[in-house]
Amino acid sequence: MVVVALQTGQMIASFQDKILEIAHEIHKYPELSEQEFKTTEKIRSFLTEMNIELLEEQPSTGVLAIIRGGQPGKTVALRADIDALPVLEDPSHKIVSQNQGVMHACGHDIHTAALLGAAAALNRQHQSLCGTVLLIFQPAEEVSTGAKAVIDTGVFDRIRPDAFFSFHVMPSVPEGKIGIRQGPIMAAQKGFTIRIAGKGGHGASPHLTHDPLIAATRTVDALQTIASRQIDPAAPFVLSVCSIHGGTAFNIIPDSMEITGTCRLMDNSISRQVEQWITDIAQKTADIHSCAAEVTFFRRLPALENATPLVSIAQDTAAALLGPENIICQDIMMGSEDFSLYSEIAPIFMYHMGMGVTQGVNYSLHNPHFLVPDAITLQSAELLAQTALRYLEK
């Protein structure tokens, strides 16, 4: 294994200039979710240049490719997300987005370039691989539709991975360290919209109306009892109402109101129960006020759980790359990731690659000042390549 890891590192070093060039190019020309057409072209061009096979199944944006080993074995999937965010970048950065108001503020440019680097290194030694490496350059992670788009291509009906690995750059983890956690690490997500229909009228005659605004405000208040009275206080859970809209004038009671919010939890087993609680509270509160409530849910994602059988492989790989003293137990995060959907196909695992600095300010994901050092790109490429090798050899 030491020999294989060394070869991978040397190969990635030989591609270093090309990997960084494409990382910078993707950073300069970011594209929003489901609009990653030029990014897709760049990925396809690089893979074709490296003589890596593109699959017949492809999502509208994003790329699926495969490296077939010279020896039989299992199939491991490596995934990187490719989309950017509607964020105006700090213009003082060395490399700045040329698409005004769009920025790689979550590091997906680094994820993409790292997977391309890993793919190039693995393909160089494909004859010695015992098994197959499936490459997933996934679109639309930021809007939670990309993983489903990949699954809907039907690729997993023909090529079914035995495991999925991915990583995310993480400013909360110090640079030079890798965060690893067994079990749930990122939260389940569900967005919700509550539409409350009543009967509007003049503000001077509220007795002639069925006021949806009163029903809405009491619904917002009642929703907080899910966390305070239904959920185990020791269990991570968040329910946030983030918008409430309705009305057109200061003296007119509106016909309807709309509430939107998000819910995050780590326990997939209570996901449906939470939806039922939200629905019951909205409908019964509306009914008390002679109104009607309609509840819809969207962006449903399960919690991301790192599969136990893959943790030891990840720990061994990360320790070989950076040393065991630089592997830390990653805290859970209430953010969500649609990488979790691949758990419907096979066990999954996500690393958190440290990029936090000890001197200066650590800017969070989705911040206009967020920027990933080049060294992290190359380090991440080697981590992905070695993970694939270690998994297939195991």
Query: Residue-wise over 190-222: b if at least 16 C-beta within 10 A, else e?
Result: bbbebbbebebbeeeeeeebbbbbbbbeebbeb
Residue 99 tokens read as 């698409």
For residue 273, CA distances in Å to 81, 147, 201, 268 come to 31, 24, 36, 10
**3-class DSSP state for residue 50?**
coil
> What pLDDT does 7 receive?
58
**Residue 232 has which token pair?**
């185990």
Show Cβ contacts of residue 243 under 8 Å, excluding neighbours closer than 6 positions.
Answer: 258, 259, 260, 261
User: What is d(CA 196, CA 220) in angstroms, rounded to the nearest whole number?
Assistant: 12
Q: What is the DSSP letter of 228?
A: I
The Cα–Cα gap between 253 and 14 comes to: 68
Measured CA to CA, the distance from residue 111 to residue 376 in angstroms comes to 10
**Which residues in the chain come in under a pLDDT of 70?**
1-8
pTM summary value: 0.94
